Structure 1
Amino acid sequence: MTTLLEAWRHRATHRQVWALATPMILSNLTVPLVSLVDSTVAGHLPHTQDLAAVTVGSAVYALPVWSLGFLRMGTTGFAAQAKGANDASALRTVQTQALLLAAVLGVLVGLLMVPALPWLVAEMHATPLMAGRALDYLHLRLFGLPAALLNYALAGWFIGAQRARTTLALLLVTNLVNIALNLLFVPLLGWGVPGIALASVVGEWCGALYGLWRALQVVRGLDAHVDWQTLRAWRQWLPLLRVNRDIFLRTLALEGVFFSLSLLGARLGDATVAANALLLNGLMLTAFGLDGLANAVEALCGHAIGARDHHALRRALVVAGGWSLIGSIGYALLFGSAGHLFVDLQTNLPEVRDAAYRYLPWLTALPIVGMWSYLLDGLFIGATRAREMRDSMLMSVLFFALLAWLTRSLGNEGLWLTFLAFMTVRGLSLAWLGLRIRRRRAWIA
């Protein structure tokens, strides 16, 4: 077994990690850019209800899209293991299954969302005029839901097949088309809120069509075929469906924690909940870099498991973990030294600034505490061990709920303590489960 130092000194693994992580980091940077353009275009429309309608509509649309993110994560591990095993037929089969599942869910969930839209918008406490415009936005936007889910499946497959640059290209096509059409449809053609929705829909479908074209190019170069007869058997779908089910439950549990943070923070006053939201934007900033490295772990660890290469598995985890630790320390130093500037760039309200300054030490600790769960999530996704990820998250959420109740008298300090403890337990529980698997020598069957 190689030592940690020997694994860290393996230059080829460093090159592999950054070849996969760099495109994913760049991909992450395009996401806030699109939201910024949407809100900026809507913010220049003549009525305040237009910006509010786009904000509410985007939040409602994000519910199914974010909840079905398992289509990306669940696909990556199976594709990576098939590539590591040099099984081209399995690689094509994973692609086919993921795309079929994404298409079916996109249509089905979209149809189920339509009758629920008035209730969902009403729950946002929308005024009648703003609610009407939000519904106009959403009725158009749902036409892009199948494409958005196809993009998830395609991105996961490309990452697993170690084609992260194609994932970057797919997201660039989606987002750049969206931005260009936003500027065409709204300021130039005057289509208002429907124009913003239509730009997003066309962008999503352009990305999906580009991704399908690139995926077809890749599989044409493989000496393999999809066994359609076998795919008709229910048991052939069970592994993918089980993994996606467990990731879905994990995602819902995680979303529950963030919802609870907003809910509990709102009880402490407007300035406090606003300050917490600004500080948690630092978590999003941290994710730009560390999630890219976690994506590299998914692909490389899955590849090593498929190839039955213990040394490659260890090297991928050590190298990506080392860079994740370095990155997290860098983020901690950034927030520790420039935290006041980070807050000031986001708001000029004195009471919100003062509240945010008070809790900056918690934000400074967050990257170092949280990076372990990001890293280990990548390992478990690459190994398609979603059940352990689900169990770890459920344990962490139960701990979060208990500690939130115990520290309820401490105000926002108690809330931040609870959140950092939750992130710590996430990492520790994944590490404990990972060590149990290692003792059984079960990472590679």
Structure 2
Amino acid sequence: MTALLLTRRSIFAQAWPIMLGQATVPLVGIADTAVIGRTGDAVALAGVALGSTVINFVFWTFGFLRMGMTGMTAQASGAGDEDEVRAMLVRGLALGLAIGAMLFALQVAIIPAAFALLAGGEALDRAAQGYVAARFFGAPAGLAVYALIGWFLGLGRTRAALVLQVVMNCINIVADIVFVWRFGMGARGVGFGTAIAEWSALFVGGAIALSVLGPGALAAIRTRGRAMFDGAALKRLFAVNADIMIRTVALLTTFAWFANAGARLGTVPLAANQVLMQFVSVSAFVLDGFAFTAESRIGMAIGKGARGDFLRAFRLTGEFTALAGTGFALGIAAAGPWLVAAMTDNAAVRNMAGDLLIWTALVPLVGAPAWLLDGIFIGATGTRALRNAAILATILYVATDLLLRPWAATGMWIALLASYVWRALALGAYLPRLTRSIAETPSRA
């Protein structure tokens, strides 16, 4: 595999396709919100919000298919093990398709159980359940795409990841508009649009992966056959992924708790939070461009056994993350009122979102350290630290939210900000140990 230089220019060259591709992910959420919001139906808008919470919790429980793939593929690439790079792709796709098929089969139990725990009303639950049921059709493809994107990022093939995400999200937006505005399918139509986009992306991503591997890739994969699923490799895969799965469930619990807190306050607060969370999504996904770059660079540094490369990658990605976090905070504060008005016609939702906007603007600034540290530890496959930090941060978040309940919606957002602080502090405590574990070699600037 080609070595990657560690300079600001090379870091940005690797990061910008991820940032652009990641920006299209929350743009789909914004499109979903706007397509429903422009109908003026607050129940349908809140239904997408509540349904998205369920889907995000269920699907991102298996987010290790993206995160574990990135760190392990980067380390294999850094060590020059091309057979293992190919094997990681096959394992990731097989695991994603298998788990997705299982979720599709179990949706008859998952959907009622999920909505029994959420504080929605009858009409709200009906809209949300329609969205969730439609999304389950895309579960096998969606989880396999997680693995594909993680594999591309691990190799530093960020432009391939960009193409895949742009194709998927463009199809998603077009399908949403057709199903909602043309056929009047409401929240269910948004779900079907996403499922169709996920299946399309799987086929496009598979073709791109074969192109990245080059001529003879299929023959090499067939030659190794069952060796790709040898016991030691699978044991490591599941050990890494089990910790990431627990970590992901803990973080998803934070956002499920946040969404349920909004639902408990009523339809208007929940709908307002759905609008504001689009700003959070854009910030987090775009800033993840530097976190994902850190995953790849950190993984490769560890694969080579180069502490100098590790420290330089951490510093350079940290500089970009701090700058971008500050820019997003200022941008949301300045453009937020106009963007809220563009996303919904409902006056009550607009007013509440406007009142809470200042807290939303602080998220990219406060959350940036936690997002970057996630990338550092994912690239290092330091999954035990990720797991422990997420569990501790979630417990402290819930305690903070309960303490701030008298402040209603404002208290909810302050507690969410605090959750990022708890996570960054917990991961930061593990950082010196991680640094000491890497061999002392010169940086390759």
Match of 1:6 in 2: none
Instruction: Go from structure 1 to structure 2 and tell me whether the alpha carbon gap of 1:281 and 1:177 turns closer, same or farther (over 3 Å shift).
Output: closer
The superposition leaves residues 137-193 of structure 1 with CA deviations (integer Å, 9 ceiling, x where unpaired) of: 6555433211111111000000101111111111222233344455667767x5957
CA distance in 2, matches of 1:402, 1:121: 23
Contact 2:135 2:192 survives alignment (8 Å): yes
1:292: how far off? 1.1
Contact 2:46 2:271 survives alignment (8 Å): no
Match of 1:246 among 230, 243, 250: 243
After TM superposition, list the pairs within 5 Å mapping 1:3-402 onto structure 2.
13-35=7-29, 37-38=31-32, 60-118=54-112, 120=114, 124-127=120-123, 131=126, 141-181=135-175, 190=183, 192=185, 199-221=193-215, 227-265=224-262, 276-341=273-338, 343-346=340-343, 356=353, 359-402=356-399
CA distance in 2, matches of 1:140, 1:420: 32
**Which amino acid in 1 is paired with 2:150?**
G
Instruction: Go from structure 1 to structure 2 and tell me whether the alpha carbon gap of 1:98 and 1:415 turns closer, same or farther (over 3 Å shift).
Output: same
Contact 2:21 2:165 survives alignment (8 Å): yes
- Larger mean Cα displacement after TM superposition, 171-180 or 406-415: 406-415
**Which amino acid in 1 is paired with 2:240?**
V
Instruction: Go from structure 1 to structure 2 and tell me whether the alpha carbon gap of 1:112 and 1:333 turns closer, same or farther (over 3 Å shift).
Output: same
For structure 1, the 5+ residue unaligned runs are 1-9
CA distance in 2, matches of 1:336, 1:192: 34
SS of equivalent residue, structure 1 residue 237: helix
1:327: how far off? 1.0
Contact 2:46 2:274 survives alignment (8 Å): no
Give identity over the alignment, percent. 34
**TM-score if structure 2 supplies the norm length?**
0.82
CA distance in 1, matches of 2:44, 2:340: 27
Match of 1:429 in 2: 426
1:101: how far off? 0.9
1:314: how far off? 1.6
CA distance in 2, matches of 1:409, 1:187: 40
Contact 2:306 2:440 survives alignment (8 Å): no
**Which amino acid in 2 is paired with 1:15?**
R
The superposition leaves residues 350-371 of structure 1 with CA deviations (integer Å, 9 ceiling, x where unpaired) of: 6666655555553443322211
> Number of residue pairs matched?
432
The superposition leaves residues 47-89 of structure 1 with CA deviations (integer Å, 9 ceiling, x where unpaired) of: 9998787776655544422322221111000111111111101
CA distance in 1, matches of 2:214, 2:286: 33
Q: Which has the larger radius of gyration?
A: 1
**Which amino acid in 2 is paired with 1:65?**
F
SS of equivalent residue, structure 2 residue 138: helix
Instruction: Go from structure 1 to structure 2 and tell me whether the alpha carbon gap of 1:218 and 1:368 turns closer, same or farther (over 3 Å shift).
Output: same
The superposition leaves residues 13-62 of structure 1 with CA deviations (integer Å, 9 ceiling, x where unpaired) of: 22222222211222122224434555666679999998787776655544
SS of equivalent residue, structure 2 residue 7: helix
For structure 2, the 5+ residue unaligned runs are none
Instruction: Go from structure 1 to structure 2 and tell me whether the alpha carbon gap of 1:442 and 1:413 turns closer, same or farther (over 3 Å shift).
Output: farther
1:332: how far off? 2.6
**Which amino acid in 1 is paired with 2:231?**
W
SS of equivalent residue, structure 2 residue 156: coil
SS of equivalent residue, structure 2 residue 236: helix
**Which amino acid in 2 is paired with 1:78?**
M
CA distance in 2, matches of 1:440, 1:106: 36
Contact 1:45 1:192 survives alignment (8 Å): no
Instruction: Go from structure 1 to structure 2 and tell me whether the alpha carbon gap of 1:94 and 1:275 turns closer, same or farther (over 3 Å shift).
Output: same
CA distance in 2, matches of 1:285, 1:185: 24
The superposition leaves residues 177-227 of structure 1 with CA deviations (integer Å, 9 ceiling, x where unpaired) of: 344455667767x59577765544332222101111221222345786574
CA distance in 2, matches of 1:137, 1:406: 33
**Which amino acid in 1 is paired with 2:394?**
V
Contact 1:383 1:443 survives alignment (8 Å): no
CA distance in 2, matches of 1:418, 1:58: 21
CA distance in 2, matches of 1:355, 1:140: 30
**TM-score if structure 1 supplies the norm length?**
0.82
**Which amino acid in 2 is paired with 1:317?**
F
Instruction: Go from structure 1 to structure 2 and tell me whether the alpha carbon gap of 1:420 and 1:57 turns closer, same or farther (over 3 Å shift).
Output: closer
CA distance in 2, matches of 1:358, 1:46: 20
- Larger mean Cα displacement after TM superposition, 426-435 or 167-176: 167-176
1:259: how far off? 2.6
